[in-house]
Amino acid sequence: MDVPESGAAGTAAPNLAEGFPAATRERWRALVAGVLRKSGVAEERLADTPESVLATHGYDGFDIAPSTPPTRPPPTPAIPGWPPSRAATGPAEEWPEAGTSVPGTPTPTPPCCAAASKTTS
């Protein structure tokens, strides 16, 4: 399928943020604090990172943030469908063999796309 990714259309894409003030993390935090203040959260908990009030505490020593920024990388680079994200016992019979699956080498055609192009052509 030849669908351009969002933003790839370049100049033709409208800038939806035009006319609005630039979004900053500080501004966002001020808005979050404003909402939480109305719910009666104590002021000292809203000082630095108000969103941490909404975090979930697990049993493993880390908190689950209420909103995840796109800056966190996955633990190991994995191409979906190839080891280690899947068993090395190999893909199911109808999928192409994982010959060039080593991360860092050119990305093989994901099985789903290969199958889709077969059916649409």
Partner 1 sequence: MGGRGRRHRHTRRGPLSRLGEALTDVYLDLAPVVLSAPGPHALDAARALLRAHADADVPDGRVISHLGLDPLSAAARAGERPDVADAARFAAEHAARHPRLGLFVADGTLVHDAGGSEAQEIGSAVAAGTAYLRALADAGIEPADAARRIEFRLAANADQFSVIAKLRAVRAMWNQVLEACGVPADQRGMSLHATTSDAMLTRRDPHVNMLRATVACFAAGVGGADAVTVAPFDSAVGLPDDFARRIARNTQSLLIEESHLAQVIDPAGGSFYVEALTRDLYGAGWAFFQETERTGGIGAAIEHGELRAAVDRVWERRRHDLARRTAPLTGVSEFPDPHEKPLVREPDPARRRPVPGGFPARRYAQDYEALRDRSDAHTAATGHRPGAFLVTLGPVAAHTARASFATNLLAAGGSRPTTRGRSTTRRPPRGPSRSPAAGSR
Summarize as ranges the residues that interact with partner 1 (CB under 8 A).
58-62, 64-65, 68-70, 72-76, 78, 80-81, 83-89, 91-92, 98, 101-103, 111-112
Of 66, 68, 64, 84, the residue nearest 76 (C-alpha): 84
CB-CB contact of 56 with 63 (8 Å): yes
Cβ nearer to partner 1, comparing 15 with 67: 67
Least CB distance to partner 1 at residue 17 (A): 20
Angstrom distances, CA of residue 11 to CA of 8, 83, 110: 9, 39, 30
Encoding tokens for residue 8?
A: 């790839």
- Smallest gap from Cβ 55 to partner 1, in A, equals 12
Q: What are phi and psi of 52, to 5 degrees?
A: -70, -15
Cβ of residue 2: shortest distance to partner 1, in angstroms?
21
From the CB of 59, what's the least distance to partner 1, in Å?
4
Nearer to partner 1, 47 or 64 (CB): 64
